[in-house]
Chain A
């Protein structure tokens, strides 16, 4: 009987993967047409895109008008971007005098020049940058934007456009962060009255819509002050918005405080640290680091909420665009105005939310309690 046993000595050559598993076709089949339901979804998605995208692109790009002085000059049937071009400066600066606009530019250049490095990892000298942004910059910005020290005064009634939006958002956030920390600490305090006051404050502001708060700032606040005091509408808005944001900030910070394990408090107390040293040196540095994404989130919400000042008659970025589209020269350009505004807001908010996501990844050290 012949020996039919066989031992293979060399390995079988690697075969290429089957055709149905590689390449575009396989990807299409796995991701888009893996079953009848998926195929149906894909087809309806493609149909939807076909219905939306080509007409929109045609309107926004291919048959759009870029030049003209009034809406009548836009004859091609597409978007009338001429409106944006003609009004662009107003959208950015409001009614700020043209000769003084360099001050606004300089102010925001300073803010971005020092603020953005503060947000990037690994930049040296962050301590000094932070001191500059939070302590030195506010008075400098006030002098630059409003006037004084030899610069002519620009009344706040002339502020407007994107500049006003940015002023509202940044001032509110810079004021509300320390306020929010104070209220968060108060809410977790051992003193019953302090705790009650803080809880009432936070829940009261969080329970009502921002519009009623703004109404309160514009019609009620003047009544609360001594008769005859007349103070600036933008300042009033800033005050109530800062309180409103502080309540939300307090809840964000409280989340961070609650995430710090009890052992940290106890260890610090065992070392004999006083309350403020315990909070300032041990708890807050850890808690604030955890809640940075939450703070950025609050800031995004705040940035979007600044649009509500339209209701009380301030000309922020959205409001000034809205006003432009109802001007007699540009009647009928409301869609263009809104799309432009939407793009600008989207760029800011989406940028910030991407930053928040990278932060979350960076701060996620993998520790879970």
Chain B
């Protein structure tokens, strides 16, 4: 009996099944066994299948020629006759990152504006913001992308009669054409000036904080920083003799050539993604601001703090704590949703690498694994950065 063996100082004899520790070990052994055997079964099948279908394996295909054209490659010169699948992968990754960064930028601005308008005392404006949010949130993103691409941008004029704005920008079915800035000799001076301005404003901010802690007087950091960021590069530009020229698009027999071009696929993707995500961000911002109790604002007013400063120093820092975690997941969603470009013929990783390259090289496993690996990495990086930011602004409880 258990009680008597306890009394004698020996360990109680329990069956293997009734000892929670040993039972846990058994359970886990079963789980490991199941996973290993399942994986072995799948690997075995896959090897059989690959052999039967005569599909090569390994990553050698990344060095074999791709031989197709990708739509856009703003960072890298892409030559369809020389490019390999590896180049396609890099172009795809860069384009995805470009879409994600642009989309996040626009979505954040639109989302914050709509979220604040949603709380506006102006009835009409808040209703309109509500309609925006509800309409865009409840319609599938893919449908919105198709709508922007086929129904809106598909109705642009043909390349013969493009819409011209000030003879600098041209809009037609092939995209939006504009002047391309081409840096000349001495452009480095401007870059150095911008870098100096950033470093200087960082130190000014620290000095101003210290000064305010000591003598209690605020220093107009924001204005000084903006001033530095404008004035220093301007001086550098004057010294170097404005080392920037613009390459304008030229009309020739085949349409517009040269200059900078924003493709309709890219525009539709960024527009659709950012407007859709902005609807979610607007709701997050609204919830965040509403989560701050009204007593905070009233207390600040009672102390004689002006409304703009109350908003900036009392409400927003507290609201950000509520806003940042869900905002992170929206950023992640936007990045992942950029894969929908495949439906409108965009040029990001899923469309050109997991689409065209997969069809040509036929190595499904490697290509899907690389694509998924890329998204996993980006997801982890974004959530790591936002976690760090969140920790920095988190409430420090004593």
Contact = CB atoms under 8 A, between A and B. Distances in A.
Contact of A34 (B121, B140, B364): B121
Interface string A214-250: 0110011011111100000000000000000000000
Nearest to A275: B20
Contact of B376 (A207, A310, A342, A346): A207
A208 B143 contact: no
Given A42-B122, A191-B24, A335-B151, A345 B143 contact: yes
Given A220-B368, A223-B364, A342-B139, A212 B42 contact: no
A110 interface: no
Contacts of A192: 28
Contact of A305 (B121, B140, B358): B140
Given A194-B27, A305-B140, A349-B138, A212 B372 contact: yes
A135 interface: no
B27 A224 contact: no
B29 to A, nearest CB: 9
B245 interface: no
B290 to A, nearest CB: 14
B150 to A, nearest CB: 5
B375 A208 contact: yes
Given A194-B28, A308-B340, A204 B350 contact: no
A223 B46 contact: yes
Nearest to B135: A346
Contacts of A223: 45-46, 49-50, 364-365
B380 interface: yes
Contacts of A350: 134, 138
Contacts of A342: 139, 143, 147
A191 B142 contact: no
Contacts of B146: 318, 322, 334, 338
A341 interface: yes
Contacts of B80: none
A49 B131 CA distance: 12
B93 to A, nearest CB: 14
A209 interface: yes
Which secondary structure dominates where chain A touches chain B? helix
A335 B121 CA distance: 35
A32 interface: yes
B31 A193 contact: yes
Given A31-B122, A207-B380, A209-B339, A338 B143 contact: yes
B306 to A, nearest CB: 16
A65 B27 CA distance: 66
Interface string B102-134: 000000000000000100111111001000001
Contacts, number: 151
B380 A194 contact: no
Contacts of A305: 140
Interface in A262-314: 300, 304-305, 307-308, 310-311
B142 A310 contact: yes
A334 B151 contact: yes
A349 B358 CA distance: 35
Contacts of A310: 142, 343
B140 A225 contact: no
Contacts of B150: 325, 334, 338
A206 B343 CA distance: 21
B365 to A, nearest CB: 6
A41 B113 CA distance: 13
Contact of A212 (B49, B52, B142, B350): B350
Given A216-B368, A307-B142, A338-B146, A227 B49 contact: yes
Nearest to B50: A223
Nearest to B155: A335
B122 A41 contact: yes
A245 to B, nearest CB: 15
A227 B154 CA distance: 44
B336 interface: yes
Nearest to A34: B121
B45 to A, nearest CB: 5
A224 B138 contact: no
Contact of A31 (B49, B121, B376): B121
Contacts of A318: 140, 142-143, 146
Interface string B318-332: 000000000000000
A46 interface: yes
A254 B143 CA distance: 31
Nearest to B380: A207
Interface in B319-368: 336-337, 339-340, 342-343, 350, 354, 358, 364-365, 368
Given A32-B123, A193-B28, A209-B337, A304 B375 contact: no
B35 A197 contact: yes
Given A212-B372, A219-B358, A338-B151, A32 B142 contact: no
Contacts of A67: none
Nearest to B379: A207
A313 to B, nearest CB: 12
B350 A209 contact: yes
Given A194-B27, A219-B368, A307-B143, A211 B339 contact: yes
A109 interface: no
B31 A197 contact: yes
Nearest to B46: A223
Contact of B368 (A190, A215, A222, A341): A215
Nearest to A198: B31
A32 B340 CA distance: 40
A38 interface: yes
Interface of A: 31-32, 34, 38, 41-42, 45-46, 48-49, 190-194, 197, 204, 206-212, 215-216, 219-220, 222-227, 300, 304-305, 307-308, 310-311, 318, 322, 325, 334-335, 338, 341-342, 345-346, 349-350, 353
Interface of B: 24, 27-28, 31-32, 35, 42, 45-46, 48-50, 52, 117, 120-125, 128, 134-135, 137-143, 146-147, 150-151, 154, 336-337, 339-340, 342-343, 350, 354, 358, 364-365, 368, 371-372, 375-376, 379-380
Given A38-B121, A227-B48, 19 more contacts: A31-B123, A41-B120, A41-B124, A191-B24, A191-B27, A191-B28, A192-B28, A206-B379, A207-B379, A211-B342, A215-B371, A223-B45, A227-B52, A304-B138, A305-B140, A308-B340, A341-B143, A345-B140, A345-B143
- Shortest 3 CB-CB contacts between residues of A and residues of B: A349-B138, A209-B336, A304-B140
25 contacts: A32-B122, A38-B121, A41-B117, A42-B125, A45-B128, A190-B24, A191-B28, A193-B31, A207-B379, A208-B336, A210-B336, A212-B375, A215-B354, A215-B358, A220-B365, A220-B368, A223-B46, A223-B49, A227-B48, A304-B138, A311-B343, A318-B146, A342-B143, A349-B137, A350-B134
